[in-house]
């Protein structure tokens, strides 16, 4: 609803009451990451999700798994993150082979490659701390499902309105979808009533809207022009930046749980330093991906990524 090429991790949702009914519902508003709301929407419309399967290899999907129901899998999620993180450095292969990139930029990327691998090792040494005895919280009773396996526009509209109150009229609920600030203003927010978005979601579920982009033909896919090569390198770096942002969110999630589970303070501190380091790497790589080639040549060298702190002893 924002744009076909925006990552789900970069979408924020917000809801509020219209002024004409705000006082009746205590001017209620809220919002946040869209993942929680998507999970709620799915549960209400299609019944609770099936039992969890193997953890995904894509870090965006692993982030979603962690934030929407892996509260008793902290050790497994962190260990899996440590395994998958070094594999993301494959996305650096194409930029590192590009002799046209400024020397200082390629040197920074080589340092980033090493820092990512060091972070993975640090995470693998921290994850066993979460194997300490822990009683997982009792899961809440599943929300009642709406009748019928095929939700109508009205069903979806009602669930969206329920984010404010079961008693409010859908036309009195304003829903907004906003891009995360880290997208740098490249996308435009969308705002409409729950009724409008309910109809749009129903249309998407039933495939009533045509794809907005035409698939490239064989000639385009096989092109080896410098312009296409530069675009592929930028796409690789942008994807790596996104994967690292997701890794940072997973580490922040684990750090939160280390506090509530009262794990040793050094675990909490090391997860904090790892979160900061991986997010700084993500920001640096995103700057390289977004900067024009001419600008990179004139830009001072990026500060090399800081080496992670020594890993804690295994328990």
Domain ranges of the chain: 8-50+139-205, 59-135+217-298
pLDDT in tens, 163-195: 888 889 999 999 999 888 888 788 889 899 999
pLDDT at position 295 over 90: no
Question: What pLDDT score was predicted for residue 102?
Answer: 87
- Closest C-alpha among 46, 38, 48, 49 to residue 151: 46
Q: Which residues contact 271 (CB under 8 A, 6 or more apart)?
A: 126, 251, 254, 255, 258
Residue, of 161 and 305, whose pLDDT is higher = 161
> What is the structure's pLDDT at 133?
61
| Per-residue confidence band for 203, with pLDDT thresholds at 50, 70 and 90 | confident
pLDDT of residue 312: 42
Helix pair 265-290, 226-260: axis angle to 10 deg: 160
* pLDDT at residue number 242: 83
- Percentage of the residues of the chain whose pLDDT score is greater than 70: 75
146 vs 31, which has greater pLDDT? Answer: 31
pLDDT over 80 (residue 244):
yes
pLDDT at 215: 35
> Among 44, 50, 99, which residue's Cα sits nearest to residue 230?
99
Whether residue 2 contacts residue 190, with contact meaning beta carbons closer than 8 Å, is answered with yes
**What integer pLDDT is reported at residue 308 of this predicted model?**
43
pLDDT of residue 293: 57
**Cα 265 to Cα 104: distance, rounded to the nearest angstrom:** 37
Across-strand partners of 190? 177
64-78, 131-145, 229-243, 273-287: segment of lowest average pLDDT: 131-145
Q: What is the mean pLDDT of residues 202-228?
A: 44
Nearest-angstrom CA–CA distance, 86 and 116: 6
133-153 burial string, b = 16+ CB within 10 Å, else e?
ebeeeeeeeeeeebeeeebeb
Least confident stretch, 203-212, 222-231, 286-295: 222-231
Give the pLDDT score at 32: 79
Which residue has 């790589």 as its token pair? 285
Q: What is the mean pLDDT of the chain?
A: 77
The pLDDT of residue 222: 28
Q: Find the range with the poorest average confidence among 8-12, 128-132, 265-269, 301-305.
A: 301-305
Residue 202 CA to its chain's centroid (Å):
24
SS3 per residue for the chain: CCCCCCCHHHEEEEEEECHHHHHHHCCCEEEEEHHHHHHHHHHHHHCCCCCCCCCCCCHHHHHHHHHCCCCCCHHHHHHHHHHHHHHHHHHHHHHHCCCCCCHHHHHHHHHHHHHHHHHHHHHHHHHHHHHCCCCCCCCCCCCCCCCCCCCCHHHHHHHHHCCCCCCCCHHHEEEEEEECHHHCCCCCCEEEEHHHHHHHHHHHHCCCCCCCCCCCCHHHHCCCCHHHHHHHHHHHHHHHHHHHHHHHHHHHHHHHHHHHCCCCHHHHHHHHHHHHHHHHHHHHHHHHHHCCHHHHHHCCCCCCCCCCCCCCCCC
* Residue 139: predicted pLDDT: 46
What are the pLDDT digits (tens) for 62-93?
A: 887 787 667 778 999 999 999 999 999 999 99
């Amino acid at each position: 609803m924002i744009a076909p090429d925006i990552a789900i991790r970069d979408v924020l949702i917000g809801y509020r009451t219209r002024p004409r009914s705000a006082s009746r519902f205590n001017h209620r508003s809220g919002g946040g990451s869209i993942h929680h709301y998507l999970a709620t929407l799915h549960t209400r419309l299609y019944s609770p999700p099936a039992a969890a399967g193997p953890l995904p290899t894509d870090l965006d999907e692993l982030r979603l798994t962690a934030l929407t129901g892996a509260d008793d899998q902290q050790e497994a999620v962190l260990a899996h993150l440590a395994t998958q993180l070094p594999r993301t450095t494959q996305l650096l292969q194409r930029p590192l082979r590009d002799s046209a990139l400024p020397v200082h930029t390629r040197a920074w990327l080589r340092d980033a490659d090493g820092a990512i691998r060091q972070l993975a090792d640090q995470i693998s040494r921290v994850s066993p701390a979460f194997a300490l005895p822990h009683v997982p919280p009792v899961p809440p009773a599943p929300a009642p499902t709406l009748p019928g396996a095929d939700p109508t526009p009205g069903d979806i509209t009602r669930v969206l309105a329920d984010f404010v109150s079961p008693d409010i009229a859908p036309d009195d609920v304003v829903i907004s979808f906003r891009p995360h600030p880290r997208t740098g203003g490249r996308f435009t927010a969308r705002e409409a009533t729950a009724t409008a978005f309910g109809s749009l979601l129903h249309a998407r579920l039933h495939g009533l809207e045509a794809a907005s982009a035409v698939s490239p033909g064989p000639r385009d896919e096989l092109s080896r022009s410098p312009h296409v090569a530069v675009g592929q390198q930028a796409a690789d770096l942008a994807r790596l930046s996104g994967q690292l942002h997701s890794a940072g969110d997973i580490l922040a999630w684990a750090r939160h749980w280390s506090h509530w589970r009262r794990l040793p303070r050094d675990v909490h501190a090391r997860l904090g330093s790892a979160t900061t380091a991986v997010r700084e790497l993500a920001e640096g790589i995103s700057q390289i991906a977004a900067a024009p080639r001419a600008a990179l040549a004139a830009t001072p060298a990026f500060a090399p990524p800081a080496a992670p702190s020594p890993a804690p002893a295994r328990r």
